[in-house]
């Protein structure tokens, strides 16, 4: 099926421009023509009225009883040859007819109320087809009433109207043609930046995401479009870079435990040993396998979160209870380092959250605090209310985080101390998972730290209406 719709935007813009301009010009021409005809008709009627008033002053009966049209020095109506004049008595008897009218008649006896209510005007044709504008009026000459019929030809009026139509018929297409050419050129010039942007965008590939579209006029619509496209390219570039870094880091992190498992297994096969020896070998391999499983689980959680496949089922929960459960899972790690793990706060503070996902975020934060606190140190976890927000603070007694590292601690696979082993420092995914989990609950997480004074991670979560603010019972507990 053949489509009549033009393919190019430039052509469509020009056609729309011509349609709108043609409609406006046609409407303007129609209004102008109507206005001109109305004015010409009104002027013709005014001339006829003036002629009748002049004739009324010049009509008089001669001594022989014949009606005649007197003349004076300033005007000679008959000599102008512009009007048709006929005077009759009310019963239709012809009293006077000018030379211009000749043998033609403007009518017989007076029609009902003709000329009695001012001027009676109408358009008629003479027997030879001449269009005229006729006016009638009753006038008393001496003591005798007469019916004056005076007309002027409509030919000049019609001629002016035809001339106007000729100008419009010839001028409008010419004007549209000129406007169409100008509009086509203007549309091409206006859309030229789009063609440039399309050509440049076609050259941008995954390897050339650093390129940007040219912006000639940043404040107009095309400039704003190019800026939005450039912003999109910048986001894509960052996403591709993160994906490449994530892939490289994930490959590196996965290769490390796999290499350890293979190395331990190869060493164990190269020599004979007792059952306890092989038990130690297998135990080392299981430790690496467990570390690999945790890493794969973290990667799978991040992948599902990025894809939006993790469903969050929110229910009102007591925040202190979730914090206490998370801390209890890490008591053994704290005891191994002879650390104190202190949990305190208001046990009535409630939030709408998915307990499993929120618990994972808290476990990651507390585990991070334990890993970075020295032996014999203390980790504080507090729950409080601030306005309409529930606030959870996890503070450690470690060395703190330098300012240049703080903006990057939530990035995937990022470790502040590159020299730390993966056994001690983890894979660098815990904080990024915690950040996602908190933001998924419409919350925020922030870091405050000074070198040598530990690190403080603060979580802000919106509270639910179920929180009984009126109760001042303190639920502060400590886990040691």
Q: Is the pLDDT of residue 480 over 70?
A: no
**Exposure string over 294-321, b if 16+ CB within 10 A, otherwise e:** ebeebbebbeebeeeebeeebeebbbbe
Cα dihedral 106, 110, 111, 115 sign: positive
Q: Angle at Cα 356 formed by Cα 351 and Cα 361, nearest 5°?
A: 80
Task: Please state, rounded to an integer, the average pLDDT across all residues of the chain.
Answer: 80
Residues 396 and 417 in one domain: yes
Claim to verify: residue 265 and residue 356 sit in the same structural domain: no
Q: Say how far residue 133 (Cα) sits from the centre of its chain.
A: 61
Q: Which residue has the tokens 């579209």?
A: 213
Q: pLDDT at position 249, please?
A: 61
Is 467 contained in some domain?
Answer: no
Greater confidence (150 vs 409) lies with 150
* pLDDT computed for residue 419 by the predictor: 45
What is d(CA 93, CA 109) in angstroms, rounded to the nearest whole number? 7
Residues 343 and 400 in one domain: yes
- What does the pLDDT read at residue 347? 84
pLDDT at 254 over 50: yes
Tell me the average pLDDT across 255-271. Answer: 74
Q: How far is CA 459 from the centre of its chain?
A: 35
Q: Which of 382, 391, 384, 380 is nearest to 455 (CA)?
A: 380
* pLDDT tens per residue, range 190-223: 777 777 888 888 888 777 777 888 887 778 777 8
Residue 475: per-residue pLDDT: 37
Q: Are 17 and 179 in contact (CB under 8 A)?
A: yes
- Domain total of the chain: 3
For residue 409, pLDDT over 70 is answered with yes
Between 307 and 102, where is the model more confident?
A: 102
Pairing of strands 94-97, 67-69: unpaired
Pick from 268, 261, 216, 209: which is nearest to 235 by CA? 209
Domain co-membership, 13 together with 155: yes
In this prediction, residue 324 carries a pLDDT of 92
Q: How confident is the model at residue 334 (pLDDT cuts 50, 70, 90)?
A: confident
pLDDT band at 392 (very low <50, low <70, confident <90, very high): very high
**CATH value at residue 273:** 1.10.287.130
Q: Based on the domain organization, do 129 and 234 belong to the same domain?
A: no
Angle, helices 155-202 vs 221-269, to 10°: value is 20
Nearest to 363 by CA among 376, 385, 381: 381
* Strand-pair category, 340-345 with 378-386: parallel
Q: Poorest-confidence range of 54-63, 98-107, 287-296?
A: 287-296
Question: Which of 254, 274, 307 is the last residue before a domain boundary?
Answer: 307
Q: How far is residue 467 CA from its own chain's centroid?
A: 41
Q: What count of other Cβ atoms lies within 10 Å of the Cβ of residue 409?
A: 19
The answer to the question of residue 2 being in a domain is no
Q: State yes or no: pLDDT of 83 exceeds 90.
A: no
User: Would residue 182 count as lying in a domain?
Assistant: no
CATH number of the domain within which 407 lies: 3.30.565.10
| Percent helix, strand and coil across the chain, each to the nearest 5 | 50, 20, 30
Contact 115, 136 (CB under 8 A): yes
**236 and 148, same domain (yes or no):** no
pLDDT at residue 417 in the model: 58
| Token duo for residue 48 | 């006829």
Is 375 within a domain? yes
Query: What is the phi/psi pair of residue 461, to 5°?
Result: -130, 140
Q: What angle do CA 204, 185, 183 make, to 5 degrees?
A: 120
Domain annotation covers residue 209: no
What is the per-residue DSSP string for 25-55? Answer: HHHHHHHHHHHHHHHHHHHHHHHHHHHHHHH
How is residue 214 written in tokens? 């040219």
pLDDT tier at 336 (50, 70, 90 boundaries)? Answer: confident
pLDDT of residue 282: 80
* Portion of the chain with pLDDT greater than 70, in percent: 82
The pLDDT of residue 320: 92
* 152 inside domain: yes
Which of 278, 307, 336 corresponds to the end of one domain? Answer: 307
Total residues belonging to the chain:
480
Contact between 351 and 388 (Cβ < 8 Å): no
Same-domain status, 431 and 329? yes
pLDDT in tens, 422-471: 444 455 677 888 888 888 888 999 998 888 888 999 999 998 764 444 33
Examine the pLDDT at 58 and tell me if it is beyond 60: yes
Q: Are residues 273 and 324 in the same domain?
A: no
State residue 474's pLDDT score.
34
Task: State the pLDDT at residue 428.
Answer: 66
Q: Which of 307, 339, 368 is the last residue of a domain?
A: 307
Residues 371 and 394 in one domain: yes
Of 51-55, 101-105, 126-130, 297-301, the poorest mean pLDDT is in: 297-301
Q: Compute the distance between CA of residue 274 and CA of residue 282 in angstroms, rounded to an integer.
A: 12
Per the structure, the complete domain to which residue 425 belongs is given by 315-462
Percentage of the chain modeled with pLDDT above 90: 9
Same domain for 97 and 125, yes or no, is yes
Q: Which residue has the tokens 């489509």?
A: 3
Residue 356 and residue 300 share a domain: no
The pLDDT score that the predictor gives to residue 225 is 82
State the average pLDDT over residues 34-41. 89
Q: Which two tokens stand for residue 78?
A: 């008959």
Whether residue 364 sits in one domain with residue 269:
no
Mean predicted confidence (pLDDT) in 325-342: 88
Using alpha carbons, select from 463, 316, 471, 439 the residue that is nearest to residue 388: 463
115 in a structural domain: yes
pLDDT digits (tens, 9 = 90+) for 132-156: 889 988 888 888 888 888 999 888 8
């Amino acid at each position: 099926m053949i489509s009549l719709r033009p393919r190019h935007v430039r052509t469509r813009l020009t056609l729309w421009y011509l349609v709108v301009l043609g409609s406006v010009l046609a409407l303007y021409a129609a209004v102008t023509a109507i206005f001109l005809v109305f004015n010409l008709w009104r002027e013709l009627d005014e001339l006829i009225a003036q002629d009748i008033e002049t004739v009324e002053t010049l009509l008089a009966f001669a001594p022989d009883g014949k009606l005649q049209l007197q003349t004076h020095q300033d005007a000679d109506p008959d000599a102008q040859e512009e009007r048709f004049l006929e005077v009759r008595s009310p019963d239709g008897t012809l009293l006077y007819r000018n030379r211009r009218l000749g043998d033609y008649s403007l009518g017989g006896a007076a029609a009902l109320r003709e000329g009695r209510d001012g001027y009676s005007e109408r358009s008629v044709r003479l027997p030879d087809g001449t269009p005229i504008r006729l006016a009638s009026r009753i006038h008393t000459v001496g003591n005798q009433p007469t019916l004056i019929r005076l007309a002027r030809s409509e030919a000049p009026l019609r001629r002016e109207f035809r001339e106007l139509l000729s100008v419009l018929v010839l001028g409008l297409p010419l004007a549209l043609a000129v406007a169409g050419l100008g509009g086509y050129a203007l549309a091409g010039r206006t859309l030229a930046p789009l063609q440039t942007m399309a050509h440049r965008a076609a050259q941008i590939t995954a390897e050339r995401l650093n390129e940007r579209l040219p912006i000639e006029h940043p404040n107009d619509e095309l400039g704003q479009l190019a800026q939005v496209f450039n912003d999109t390219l910048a986001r894509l570039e960052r996403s591709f870079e993160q994906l490449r870094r994530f892939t490289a880091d994930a490959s590196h992190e996965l290769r490390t435990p796999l290499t350890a498992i293979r190395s331990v297994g190869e060493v164990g096969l190269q020599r004979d040993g007792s059952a306890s020896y092989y038990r130690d070998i297998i135990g080392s391999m299981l430790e690496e396998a467990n570390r690999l499983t945790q890493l794969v689980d973290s990667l799978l959680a991040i992948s599902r979160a990025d894809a939006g496949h993790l469903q969050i089922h929110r229910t009102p929960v007591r925040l202190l209870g979730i914090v206490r459960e998370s801390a209890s899972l890490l008591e053994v790690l704290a005891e191994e380092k002879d650390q104190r793990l202190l949990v305190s706060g208001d046990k009535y503070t409630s939030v709408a959250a998915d307990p499993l996902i929120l618990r994972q975020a808290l476990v990651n934060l507390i585990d991070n605090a334990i890993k970075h606190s020295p032996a014999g140190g203390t980790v504080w976890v507090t729950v409080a209310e601030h306005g309409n927000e529930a606030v959870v603070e996890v503070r450690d007694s470690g060395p703190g985080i330098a300012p240049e590292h703080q903006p990057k601690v939530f990035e995937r696979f990022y470790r502040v101390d590159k020299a730390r082993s993966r056994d001690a420092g983890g894979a660098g995914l815990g904080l990024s998972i915690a950040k996602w989990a908190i933001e998924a609950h419409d919350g925020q997480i922030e870091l405050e730290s000074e070198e040598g004074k530990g690190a403080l991670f603060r979580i802000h979560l919106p509270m639910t209406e179920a929180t009984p603010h009126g109760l001042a019972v303190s639920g502060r507990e400590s886990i040691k």
